[in-house]
Amino acid sequence: MFHPSGRRRWRPLPILMLIALLAPLALGWHWAKLTGWRDRHINYPSTPSGYTQIVNRFGEPCNSNATAVWMRWNEADTGTSRLIYFHRKLGGYPTEVVTNKGGRSTNLDNDVYGHIQNDHLGQYTKYLVSTYACRLQRGSTSKWSTHAWGIAIDISSKYEPLGQCYSTTNKYFAQRFKSHGWLWGLSFCDPMHFQYAYDY
């Protein structure tokens, strides 16, 4: 469009639209470049199916490997940096953003958590985040919980209680877990729960 003076009139709308389209890509790129994060997929154990495969892959419940690796997980609503422990086969391998904790893979601490942070989904991980617990499944007198192997994590338990068959917040990042070998407990009305095991 031309101004009566003969000069082309500046129209900011197309430029603003271009900036709006590129901003999310630029922010994601900036986070990755800033920390050096990459989705590594190093040394993942096959996801076990059933009790026998869980024991064959991760040992007996409550063994020392179940708490061998630790990390801090931020809860967006409380601002708490929660210290969590999990099995050495599910993390602790040194990367650009994870110090060497003696673990054997990049699964939970680098790849899953890294995806959630890099995709700006940390705002949906809320109180309470917890992992290892040497206990039986709720309501059972004989069946071990996957938490006893350090292969399960509960996220946003205040918002995603056991028995609730829909998700209010974990739905925003559940696919990041599923694409890295984890089963989401929403399938059995436990939307807070993610476990590295099937058919158990």
Closest CA to 113 of 191, 47, 49, 35: 35
The dihedral built from the CA positions of residue 77, 78, 79 and 84, taken in this order, carries a sign that is negative
Interatomic CA distance for residues 34 and 51, integer angstroms: 41
The whole-number pLDDT of residue 35 equals 73
Closest CA to 71 of 93, 39, 55: 93
Instruction: Write out the DSSP string of the chain.
Output: -B-TTSSBPP-HHHHHHHHHHHHHHHHHHHHHHHH-------SPPPPPBHHHHHHHHH-STT-GGGGSEEEEEE-TTT--EEEEEE-GGGSB---SSS---S-SBSIIIIIIHHHHHHTT-GGG--S--B-----BPTT-SSPBPGGGGT-EEE-STTTS-TT--S-SSGGGTHHHHHTTTPEEGGGGT-TTEEES-B--
The whole-number pLDDT of residue 28 equals 45
Closest CA to 105 of 114, 95, 115: 95
Q: Which residue has the tokens 């338990």?
A: 157
Per residue of the chain (200 residues), give pLDDT as tens: 545 555 555 555 555 555 544 544 444 444 455 578 999 999 999 999 999 999 999 999 999 999 999 999 999 999 999 999 999 999 999 999 999 999 999 999 999 999 999 999 999 999 999 999 999 999 999 999 999 999 999 999 999 999 999 999 999 999 999 999 999 999 999 999 999 999 99
Interatomic CA distance for residues 60 and 149, integer angstroms: 7
Interatomic CA distance for residues 105 and 93, integer angstroms: 5
* C-beta of residue 155 within 8 angstroms of C-beta of residue 171: no
**pTM for the structure as a whole:** 0.84
* C-beta of residue 32 within 8 angstroms of C-beta of residue 56: no
Q: Which residue has the tokens 């391998």?
A: 93
Asked if residue 128 has a cis previous peptide bond (ω within 30° of 0), the answer is yes
